[in-house]
Amino acid sequence: MNKKEAEELSVLLMQVSGKLDQSVRFVMDKDTKENFESYRSNAGKVMGEIFLEMLQPLWERYPELRPKEMDGIYEVNPQIHEPHFYKPDENS
């Protein structure tokens, strides 16, 4: 894998994590507290695995792709998360 391909994969994995994060808010607003807590726990496990087992190794191999938010130098374009799956302010 070259740097450009690694960057594409990094962005994709960040998008997946972002969608999962949005889905947690969706479940919080739309389901029971019990279901939300279970869903949040499971989504957190998946997000943790993506970070620890996929993104971290990729960023170790290509440190220039580690986002600024993770103490790196890579500037993440916030538009990678568009369109949002769920925006609570639009659905209130």
Query: Where do the structural domains in the chain lie, given as residue ranges?
Result: 3-63
Identify the band that residue 5 occupies on the pLDDT scale cut at 50, 70 and 90. very high
Tell me what pLDDT residue 20 has: 96
pLDDT tens by residue, 38-62: 999 999 999 999 999 999 999 999 9
Task: Give buried/exposed letters for 71-84 (b at 16+ CB in 10 A, else e).
Answer: eeebebeeeebeee
Contact (Cβ atoms closer than 8 angstroms) between residue 54 and residue 13 = yes
| pLDDT tens by residue, 15-34 | 999 999 999 999 999 999 99
Which residue has 């374009």 as its token pair? Answer: 77
Is residue 80 within 8 A of residue 13, CB to CB? The reply is no
Q: State both tokens at 18.
A: 């972002």
pTM, entire model: 0.87
With residues binned 3-state (H G I as helix, E B as strand, rest as coil), the percentages for the chain, rounded to 5, are: 75, 0, 25
